[in-house]
Each structure stands twice: as structure tokens, then as C-alpha cells.
Amino acid sequence: MLTTKQHELLVFIDKHLRETGCSPSFEEMKAALDLRSKSGIHRLITALEERGFLKRHKHRARALEVVRLSEDLAPPTRGASRFAPNVIQGNFSGKLPGVRAANEAGAVSLPLYGKIAAGLPIEALRDEAEQVEVPMAMLGQGEHFALRVEGDSMIEAGILDGDIVIIRKGETAETGQIIVALVDESEVTLKRLRRRGNSIALEPANIRYETKIYPAERVRVQGRLAALLRQY
């Protein structure tokens, strides 16, 4: 049986994973549970891991996996993912070419539609001949495309150089979600979205990079992070 705080943390981590595709930071967990120190979060995570509710993946930043939920937790539902802008040139509006139907293995081929810089501007490579196989269980409703990450500006969100991010196409996103943003109709970036009045902040997940703030009319959401693929 879980304590109240253990239960609250497990719920928060599960919700964050389903909405963002990555585990929350210690700072986010501390704020969500209204704790004063990160050591308290560490003790809760250790307790959940010992009881078989959580699993930590070594050598991966912020890599938590919910193994099972407490019996008194509602069954998980698929949510939208967060996403933040880093820069790539291009516009992903319109119907995405190259998407094929699911195969017998329960996977779908998505076009690896380009590269996205996690930190520095880079031209999008629209090589629609290259495909990536994605398990259908990782995808929800809507249209998706894949982008390869270059750079390290999102490493604290668990998004590393060389990762392939699966983006759910769309023009809306909530603050805190990781998105693909088109800036000034010329640069596309992967960052976390923060709304500040009439401005939009594109927030990296690496202290080496600065958050960039733009008037809302200069930023257009092109999709939200739905899943992440990594090869070893």
C-alpha cells in the first residue's frame, strides 16, 4: 500500500509521461508535490522503485518508467504531448506525404520528414523517401511525422542528439508542452512552450541555452511531441 505522497508522485509521473513522452524533472516533481527539497523526491522515487511501481533506466537523463499503477489509480488514457521549439527551416503545413497504412506487425511507416536542431538553426531536410517504423501503440489520433534531433538543447527533457521525435501535427498546444514551432515563417524549432501574456517563450531544457521570447504573432505551432525513438 502506498503512502499519500507516494501515490501523488506516481500519479504525477504517469500523467507527465503520457502527456509529454518523457519523465518530469526533480524540480517539476518537487513543485507538483509541494515539497521543499529534492531529497524528499529521491526518497519517494526509491520507495516506488523498491515496491515495483517505478523503474529507473541508468545512463539516461530523467528516464523513469511506470511499471504498474496502484490499484486505486484510474487506468491511464493517452494524452497530448508537450513540445518546445528548436530551429529548423521549413513549413510542415498541408497533408504529409509518404504515410503508409499499418502493417501486420502493428507498426506504421512515417516519413522521416527532416532534421530539427535542438539548440541551433538548421535547414529541414525533406527527404520523403526515408521512412521510420513506429509501433501503432505509440500513436494516438491524428496525423504524425518524424524528425531527427540534432543538438543538445533538450537533454534535460530526455531528448538527446540523434533521437527521432514523433510529432502529432496540429496548430494548438498548451503551455508546458514540447512543440515544433515555426518562427517568423522561416525557422522551425523544438522547445517547450510557455505563454506569457501576449508573448510566447520557447524554453530549452539545457541550462546552457537561453529561453527566447517572441510576440505571439511570430510563432506558429506545427505539432506536439507524441513519442520518441532512440537507437543504441
15 annotated active-site: no
Is residue 99 within 8 Å of residue 110, measured between CB atoms?
Answer: yes
176 vs 221: CA distance, rounded Å = 13
Q: What does the longest C-alpha to C-alpha distance in the chain come to?
A: 53
Q: Is 23 a catalytic residue?
A: no
Q: Are 178 and 154 in contact (CB under 8 A)?
A: yes
Determine which one of 25, 115, 153, 169 is catalytic: 153
Nearest to 178 by CA among 189, 192, 188: 192
Question: What cell numbers appear for 8 in the block?
Answer: 501523488
Measure CA of the first residue to CA of the last residue in the chain; give whole Å. Answer: 36
Cα separation, 10 vs 27, whole angstroms = 15
Q: How far is Cα 118 from Cα 169, in angstroms, rounded to an integer?
A: 19
Rounded to an integer, what distance in angstroms lies between the CA atom of residue 178 and that of residue 62?
15
Adjacent-strand bridge partners of 215: 199
Distance of CA 230 to the CA centre of its chain: 13
Instruction: List residues with catalytic annotation.
Output: 153, 191
